[in-house]
Amino acid sequence: MSTVWVLAVSLAYLALLFVVAYVGDRRAARGHSLINSPWTYALSLGVYCTAWTYFGSVGRAASGGLWFLPIYLGPTMAMVLGWLVLRKIVRIAKVQRITSIADFIASRYGKSRLLAVSVTLIAIVGVVPYIALQLKGVSAAYGLLTSPGVVERAAQVPWSRDGAFYLALVLAGFTMIFGARHLDTTERHEGMVAAIAFESVVKLAAFLAVGVFVTYGLFDGFSDIFARARAQPELRALLRLEQGAAFAWPQWFTMTVLAMLAVVMLPRQFQIMVVENVHESHLRRASWVFPAYLLAINVFVLPIALGGLLYFSGQATNPDNFVLSLPLAAGQQALALFVFVGGLSAATGMVIVESIAISIMVSNELVLPLLLRWRTALGGGLPDLTRILLNIRRITILLLLLLGYVYFHVASEAYALVSIGLISFAAVAQFAPAALIGMYWRAGTRLGALGGLMAGFGIWVYTLMLPSIAKSGWMGDAFVREGPGGLAWLKPEALLGLTGLDALTHSLFWSLLLNVSVYVALSLAREPSARETSQALMFVDAGRVGGGTTPVFWRGEARVEDLRQLCVRFFGAERAQAMFDEYAARWGTAAASVADARFVSFIETKLAGAVGGASARVLVSSVAKEESLTTDDVLRMLEEASQLRAYSRALEDKSRSLEEATARLREANEQLKSLDVLKDEFMSSVTHELRTPLTSIRALAELMLDDPKMRPEQRQPFIAIVVAEAERLSRLVNQVLDLAKIEAGRAEWHDATVDMRALVLQTVEVTRELLREHGCAIELTLPEPDARPAPMVRADPDKLQQVMLNLLSNAVKFVPPQAGLVQLALRVGEGELTLSVTDNGPGVADEDQAAAFDKFRQVGDPRQRRQGTGLGLPISRQIVEHYGGRIGVRSRLGQGATFHFTLPLLEIEET
Amino acid sequence: MANIKLSERLLGLFVLGWLLLNFPLFSIWDKDALVFGWPLLPAAAFAIWLFLIVVLAVLMEKGGHEAPETPGTTERSMLPEP
């Protein structure tokens, strides 16, 4: 393929990225953020997949089978805990305006500058080879594309002819434009993140394209590749763990842990995951979308590796290049070019974010503190710090890429892609104890963190870095083989005679062990200072505080005018004013001429967003007269804050209980109102029911009064009616009184053990006269006298008899004259007994059944309405329910009705 | 309350993942056999991986979103609310 064509496409692609980033920044400026979406966030995390993934995974799979997997299983495990751990980091970072991993660790331990510097230097040492790896990946791919078959060693190419050199320059330019354009109080780069998310899509699409091509174009699907591979013994072994030797489980475990830590601790990952995070809720979706992305990009790794080994069987080829050499060998130029663009995406994405992250660390943690010190030494002010800061970042980006290029130029031949990447991983894993333990353990101190970091990094250099340099041939490897000065127990790859582990596992074991041990031991050895304590509290409690009341740990005096000048110098007059306005709007007061602790803390946090925590601390202390805090002060301030928090919580609680009380009152009021309505209805019903017999008594009495000569035989029936109506009146009054007593809970219940069988017989005896009058037969169904369990209940026998009388007289009222049949059944069931009274009257319509037990409701045909008060059934219901039973009616029109009730059986011990 | 439950489930999934993908459980799949044309070991690795992702997705998505997604929250201050 022609060089010009490849270069043109590459530049066009970079220009496209440029456009995406530009649009992203423009949209952000107008408030329509492109990256305020969990999907964009999840995709931008795909920056984890670098050229190493893109080319190296296949290479690794071609030599070791499944060994490419732990690098992606680790991040998956990390994201399982993402919602618990990463969210806390994000929360802390937002509150404290953290700008980098160095800032994060330094801020935890009292904004220590020494710690910030250490982390920054370790990050640079660890990351430069990794950047070199990207340049190597792209330049190898470029070489393969433009001059296939020519193996030109990078070291033999002069830099002026070397594509990788120009690539480094182009990337540096691109990164400078989008990573270091303006200072921000949140240190976010929306355009860059949009471009990274875009790149993630491109590299996934390209890798899937080549995967599908190899699997279905060159071969006949997965089954075909795997079947053919299994036919060859050496390829068949790649599909197994134990490839002829015992499988290295410790290394498998180590690599998973390493990748799990690296996915958070790598400077570029921390930048994208934490600093560029727009909203912590985006973590929710990202925590599964990102692992899913990793899975998708790995599905075709094994088929491509095996496919390449099968396709180029017998030829000398580099498996790292299979993704490109396979389409090229098959004559698929366009696909090869697309795959190259995908690889370019993977590499540029990593380089851009990593160098931005490092440049922020260098400017905030290394250079600015030095500048500030000079300034105080010289006594003069520095004009326009913003421009200086941005220039520092630009220079850092350029230097970092050139450093990467130099490393690539002189060292990359020595190692495969994978080893370089793993060495970088192990370096940044040293940040994990100080960062992660410090988030949960208050007692961790600055000294402990520093000591742990130094010890871990020292072991890393000695056991991993130096041996790898020795193996490259730049220094004698005698100390690796025999130990320094012949001391065998100091051999870097077998410390204290620990053998049986590979170099990476060995190094990681010792470095993390020492790192954690020293960290814990030194932390426990000395009391933390006040500032360390205050920052430790802020970190450890971050999850719980959740935006509520946070204590302010500061004491001293500062002039507002001085703080204003400080802000103007970093943000310009306009944005400084906006910050002051924001403060006034939030707290309702413009700052007075002397700033209080809250205001100073506000300004310091804003500055921290631009220059990092440690530098912001220096800046503020340079304009303020600070009094040194003691641990007692911190405790007192904490107490004040927690009191404040307690007050506000108590206030909240009070208002909540007030609300609840209001709701309850409102409910009670509603109930009262409806009871009032019921009472009115009841009264009108009662008076109506009273008036009917009264009217009839009065009419008859007047009739007899008007006609004193009425004959006795004529007068007799009238008097009988008057007596019956008067009886009905007194019955009604009694029942109303009964009901009122029961409802008010004032009824007298004379509970006794009642044998229902006997009570039923007795009741039937009482009604026998009534039944006979109506010509009505009765059928009884009762349990046998010696039945078990016996139909015994605990209740007031008089009241129960009243219920049964009500039901019986009710039934008698409705049966047809002279042909009536009433069936009474008493049945004993599981734990309760049921009594039912069935008549052969007209029945009760479905819609009336529920109303049958309402007061004064006499259901059924009004013309057939017999004498009754309408209170019998409601009273019965009250009585039955008082004893924990249920009462109801079953009926079909024209087929009679069955009234039934249940009562809980009395449990009688068998004697 | 729901949050506590979610975190416990996530921790459980984390432990499960470690158990399934490391010695000795993962070595169970190290056999010379095929499933759907895939060798057993890679097939099992991807299946376990996918299983973890699906469970994680279910856990994370059903929890609902407690806070409206406003960019303004990034401006949260460390200072006490009045």
Kindly report the nearest CA distance between residue B52 and chain A, in angstroms: 8
What integer pLDDT is reported at residue A711 of this predicted model?
85
What integer pLDDT is reported at residue A841 of this predicted model?
84
Q: What is the pLDDT of residues A730-776, one digit of tens each?
A: 888 888 888 888 877 788 888 888 888 889 988 888 888 888 888 88
Distance between CA atoms of residues A47 and A291, nearest Å: 13
What integer pLDDT is reported at residue A289 of this predicted model?
95
CB-CB neighbors (< 8 A) of A242 in chain B: 30
- CB of A132 within 8 A of CB of A165? no
Kindly report the nearest CA distance between residue B50 and chain A, in angstroms: 8
Higher-pLDDT residue of A54 and A185 is: A54
- For A103, A204, A650, the CA distances from A187, given in Å and listed in that order, are 12, 28, 37
Sorted by sequence, the CB contacts under 8 Å of residue A638 that are 6+ apart come out as: A534, A537, A551
Distance between CA atoms of residues A512 and A403, nearest Å: 28
Distance between CA atoms of residues A393 and A362, nearest Å: 7
**Residue listed under structure tokens 């992203």:** A24
Residue A488: which H helix or E strand, with range?
none
Token pair, residue A908, equals 């009688």
Kindly report the nearest CA distance between residue A237 and chain B, in angstroms: 9
Q: What percent of chain A has pLDDT over 90?
A: 23
| Sign of the torsion angle spanned by Cα atoms A184, A185, A189, A190 | negative
**Contact (CB<8Å) A295/B80:** no
**Contact (CB<8Å) B37/A223:** yes
The answer, yes or no, to whether residue B80 has pLDDT greater than 50, is no
What integer pLDDT is reported at residue A185 of this predicted model?
56
**Residue listed under structure tokens 């609680």:** A653
Neighbours of A886 (CB within 10 A): 13
Of A73, A186, A226, the CB nearest to B74: A186
Token pair, residue A312, equals 């180029």
What integer pLDDT is reported at residue A819 of this predicted model?
83
Of B6, B22, B66, the CB nearest to A252: B22
Q: Which of A194, A192, A570 minimizes the C-alpha distance to A355?
A: A192
The confidence band for A380, taking pLDDT boundaries of 50, 70 and 90, is: low
The confidence band for A302, taking pLDDT boundaries of 50, 70 and 90, is: very high
> Measured between CB atoms, does B25 come within 8 Å of chain A?
no
Residue pairs between chains A and B whose CB atoms are closer than 8 Å: 153
**Residue listed under structure tokens 């970190």:** A539
> Measured between CB atoms, does B12 come within 8 Å of chain A?
no
Kindly report the nearest CA distance between residue B59 and chain A, in angstroms: 9
The answer, yes or no, to whether residue A556 has pLDDT greater than 60, is yes
To probe the interface with A, which of B53, B65, B69, B75 has the most A CB atoms within 10 Å? B53
Burial A547-583 (b: 16+ CB within 10 A, else e): eebbbbbbbeebebeebbebbebbbeeebbeebbeeb
Of A95, A236, A291, the CB nearest to B53: A291
Global confidence as pTM:
0.69
**Contact (CB<8Å) B52/A80:** yes
**Contact (CB<8Å) B32/A236:** yes
The confidence band for A96, taking pLDDT boundaries of 50, 70 and 90, is: confident
Q: Which of A144-153, A200-209, A320-329 has the lowest mean pLDDT?
A: A144-153
> Measured between CB atoms, does B77 come within 8 Å of chain A?
yes
Q: What is the pLDDT of residues A458-511, one digit of tens each?
A: 999 998 888 887 777 777 777 777 777 777 788 887 778 777 778 888 899 999
The confidence band for A198, taking pLDDT boundaries of 50, 70 and 90, is: very high
CB-CB neighbors (< 8 A) of B76 in chain A: 94-95, 547
> Measured between CB atoms, does A99 come within 8 Å of chain B?
no
Mean pLDDT of chain A: 83
Q: What is the pLDDT of residues A423-437, one digit of tens each?
A: 888 999 999 999 999
> Measured between CB atoms, does A708 come within 8 Å of chain B?
no
> Measured between CB atoms, does B13 come within 8 Å of chain A?
yes
- For A275, A754, A783, A786, A910, the CA distances from A757, given in Å and listed in that order, are 83, 9, 7, 11, 19
Q: What is the pLDDT of residues A829-870, one digit of tens each?
A: 888 889 999 988 888 887 777 777 777 665 554 444 445 667
- CB of A602 within 8 A of CB of B75? no
The answer, yes or no, to whether residue B71 has pLDDT greater than 50, is no
Distance between CA atoms of residues A513 and A496, nearest Å: 14
**Contact (CB<8Å) B13/A226:** no
**Contact (CB<8Å) B78/A223:** no
Mean pLDDT along residues A319-345: 90
Of A227, A538, A547, the CB nearest to B76: A547
The answer, yes or no, to whether residue A577 has pLDDT greater than 50, is yes
Of A95, A252, A644, the CB nearest to B80: A644
What integer pLDDT is reported at residue A263 of this predicted model?
93
Of A66, A224, A601, the CB nearest to B79: A601
Distance between CA atoms of residues A530 and A542, nearest Å: 18
The answer, yes or no, to whether residue A43 has pLDDT greater than 90, is yes
Q: Which of A238-247, A546-555, A795-804, A879-888 has the lowest mean pLDDT?
A: A546-555
What integer pLDDT is reported at residue A417 of this predicted model?
53
**Contact (CB<8Å) A279/B70:** yes
Sorted by sequence, the CB contacts under 8 Å of residue A222 that are 6+ apart come out as: A215, A303, B37, B38
> Measured between CB atoms, does B74 come within 8 Å of chain A?
yes
The confidence band for A590, taking pLDDT boundaries of 50, 70 and 90, is: low
A-proximal residues of B, 34-53, CB under 8 Å: 34, 36-39, 41-42, 45-46, 49-50, 52-53
Mean pLDDT of chain B: 76
The confidence band for A290, taking pLDDT boundaries of 50, 70 and 90, is: very high
What integer pLDDT is reported at residue A164 of this predicted model?
74
Mean pLDDT along residues A127-138: 87
CB-CB neighbors (< 8 A) of B7 in chain A: 83-84
What integer pLDDT is reported at residue A41 of this predicted model?
92
> Measured between CB atoms, does A24 come within 8 Å of chain B?
no
The confidence band for A546, taking pLDDT boundaries of 50, 70 and 90, is: very low
| Whether ipTM exceeds 0.90 | no
What integer pLDDT is reported at residue A331 of this predicted model?
87
The answer, yes or no, to whether residue B67 has pLDDT greater than 60, is no
To probe the interface with B, which of A33, A80, A225, A599 has the most B CB atoms within 10 Å? A80
The confidence band for A273, taking pLDDT boundaries of 50, 70 and 90, is: very high
B-proximal residues of A, 518-557, CB under 8 Å: 538, 547-552
Of A84, A223, A588, the CB nearest to B10: A84
What integer pLDDT is reported at residue A287 of this predicted model?
93
What integer pLDDT is reported at residue A865 of this predicted model?
45
**Contact (CB<8Å) A279/B69:** yes
What integer pLDDT is reported at residue B65 of this predicted model?
46
The answer, yes or no, to whether residue A407 has pLDDT greater than 60, is yes
Higher-pLDDT residue of A782 and A846 is: A782
Distance between CA atoms of residues A527 and A525, nearest Å: 7
The residue of chain A nearest to residue B56, with distances taken between CA atoms, is: A288
Residue A156: which H helix or E strand, with range?
none
Rg for chain A (alpha carbons), in Å? Answer: 45
The confidence band for A593, taking pLDDT boundaries of 50, 70 and 90, is: low
Kindly report the nearest CA distance between residue A337 and chain B, in angstroms: 29
B-proximal residues of A, 612-651, CB under 8 Å: 641, 644, 648
Count of alpha carbons within 13 angstroms of residue A518, beta-carbon side: 21
**Contact (CB<8Å) A241/B39:** no
The residue of chain A nearest to residue B77, with distances taken between CA atoms, is: A95
**Residue listed under structure tokens 């413009």:** A590
What integer pLDDT is reported at residue A171 of this predicted model?
82
Q: What is the pLDDT of residues A643-668, one digit of tens each?
A: 766 777 777 878 888 888 999 999 99
The confidence band for A342, taking pLDDT boundaries of 50, 70 and 90, is: very high
The residue of chain B nearest to residue A38, with distances taken between CA atoms, is: B69
Burial A1-26 (b: 16+ CB within 10 A, else e): beeeebeebbeebbeebeebbeebbe
The answer, yes or no, to whether residue A639 has pLDDT greater than 90, is no
**Contact (CB<8Å) A281/B69:** yes
**Contact (CB<8Å) B52/A76:** yes
Kindly report the nearest CA distance between residue B65 and chain A, in angstroms: 7
The confidence band for B66, taking pLDDT boundaries of 50, 70 and 90, is: very low
> Measured between CB atoms, does A253 come within 8 Å of chain B?
yes
Kindly report the nearest CA distance between residue A339 and chain B, in angstroms: 24
Sorted by sequence, the CB contacts under 8 Å of residue A127 that are 6+ apart come out as: A266, A267, A354, A358, A424, A427, A428
What integer pLDDT is reported at residue A211 of this predicted model?
94
Kindly report the nearest CA distance between residue B32 and chain A, in angstroms: 8
**Contact (CB<8Å) B41/A241:** yes
Token pair, residue A364, equals 């905030």
Q: Is the peptide bond before A789 cis (omega within 30 degrees of 0)?
A: yes
The answer, yes or no, to whether residue B76 has pLDDT greater than 60, is no
What integer pLDDT is reported at residue A56 of this predicted model?
86
Kindly report the nearest CA distance between residue B44 and chain A, in angstroms: 11
**Contact (CB<8Å) B14/A81:** yes
Neighbours of B64 (CB within 10 A): 8
